[in-house]
């Protein structure tokens, strides 16, 4: 069964190669060389995943990502020729699900795509709902609510929150978090864990000094301290 993927990149040679290569893995690829055209297409028909280049004419990938996140939670994998850690962090802060610097091996791109799709469309653990006080997580619908108000979480933030709630009372260090969310260790992403945790805590209204949900253990990692109902044994 084919999975539709949008590629928003002004490099026509690269998009042509991706269209040919990704077809071998069951992906149906539509390429957009203009960011405005790509945004319009996403509003008309949401794909399974978007491959988004950072360096685009008129609007850069950060702005496109921000606009997409205003109306959709579609998985986004960002590409950049610069590959700077700061760009990766900003991209993930804006809601991108993964980040791959150019040049890259096509097979690695496929592996990253498959990992993102697994995280966003499946859950290997039994489906359940999690609750900690006024915080509720619906894993089937991928929704989080605090005091009956919907939390606007990025895919990474949602997965991170589920990971901690399922491991309440256990200290998770950066390596454990990266392994759980990405399937491998990426040293360049180490600061991204702290940035994502900070944004998640802000959205939960969780004071870093007197947290209701999280506790920072200097040099060790983070701990979810709230009592959780609905965890699998």
**Is pLDDT of 78 > 50?**
yes
Question: Whose structure tokens read 């979810």?
Answer: 224
Domain range holding 57?
A: 3-121
CATH number at residue 78: 3.40.50.2300
Do residues 207 and 141 share a domain? yes
Do 157 and 89 sit in the same domain of this protein? no
Q: Would you call 137 helix, strand, or coil by DSSP?
A: strand
Which pairs count as long-range contacts for 18-23, CB under 8 Å and 24+ apart, including other chains? Answer: 18/51, 18/106, 18/109, 21/106, 21/110, 22/110, 22/113
Task: Tell me the pTM.
Answer: 0.59
Domain assignment of residue 178, yes or no: yes
DSSP H/E element including 19: helix 12-23
Q: In the numeric block, which tokens belong to residue 104?
A: 């890259």
- Cα separation, 64 vs 52, in Å, equals 8
**Longest CA–CA separation in the chain, Å:** 53
Confidence of residue 184 (pLDDT cuts 50, 70, 90): very low
How far apart, in whole angstroms, are the C-alpha atoms of residue 104 and residue 213? 39
CATH number where 167 lies: 1.10.10.10
100 and 133 belong to one structural domain: no
Pair (110, 172) in one structural domain: no
Other beta carbons within 10 Å of 93: 19
* Contact between 34 and 58 (Cβ < 8 Å): yes
Mean pLDDT to the nearest integer, 95-110: 89
Question: What is the share, in percent, of the chain residues with pLDDT greater than 70?
Answer: 87
The pLDDT value given to residue 1: 42
Name beta bridge partners: 5: 29, 49
- 170 and 145 co-located in one domain: yes
Summarised one tens digit per residue, pLDDT across range 155-165 is 888 888 999 99
Strand 98-101 to 76-80 pairing: parallel
- Report if residue 106 sits inside a domain: yes
Alpha helices per DSSP H over 45-169: 61-69, 85-93, 106-121, 155-166
Per the CB < 8 A criterion, the answer to whether 192 and 133 are in contact is: no
Q: What is the pLDDT of residue 192?
A: 74
DSSP-derived 3-state class of residue 152: coil
Domain boundary (121, 139, 169) is at 121
Indicate the pLDDT class of residue 190, thresholds 50, 70 and 90.
Answer: low
- As a whole-number percent, the residues of the chain with pLDDT over 90 amount to 45
Inform me whether the pLDDT recorded for 187 exceeds 50.
Answer: no
């Amino acid at each position: 069964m084919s999975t539709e993927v949008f590629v928003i990149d002004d490099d026509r040679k690269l998009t042509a190669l991706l269209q040919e290569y990704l077809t071998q893995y069951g992906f149906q690829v539509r390429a957009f060389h203009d960011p405005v055209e790509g945004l319009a297409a996403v509003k008309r028909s949401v794909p399974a995943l978007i491959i988004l280049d950072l360096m685009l004419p008129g609007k850069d990938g950060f702005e496109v990502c921000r606009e997409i996140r205003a109306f959709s939670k579609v998985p986004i994998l960002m590409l950049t020729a610069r590959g700077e850690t700061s760009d990766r962090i900003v991209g993930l802060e804006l809601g991108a699900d993964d980040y791959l610097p150019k040049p890259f091996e096509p097979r690695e791109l496929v592996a990253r795509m498959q990992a993102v799709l697994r995280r966003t469309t499946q859950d290997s653990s039994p489906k359940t709902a999690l609750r900690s006080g006024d915080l509720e997580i619906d894993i089937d619908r991928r929704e989080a609510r605090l005091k009956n108000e919907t939390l606007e979480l990025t895919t990474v933030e949602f997965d991170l929150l589920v990971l901690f709630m399922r491991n309440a009372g256990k200290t998770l260090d950066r390596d454990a978090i990266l392994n759980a969310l990405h399937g491998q260790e990426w040293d360049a992403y180490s600061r991204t864990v702290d940035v994502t945790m900070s944004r998640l805590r802000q959205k939960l209204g969780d004071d870093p000094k007197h947290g209701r949900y999280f506790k920072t253990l200097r040099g060790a990692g983070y701990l979810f301290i709230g009592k959780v109902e609905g965890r699998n044994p």
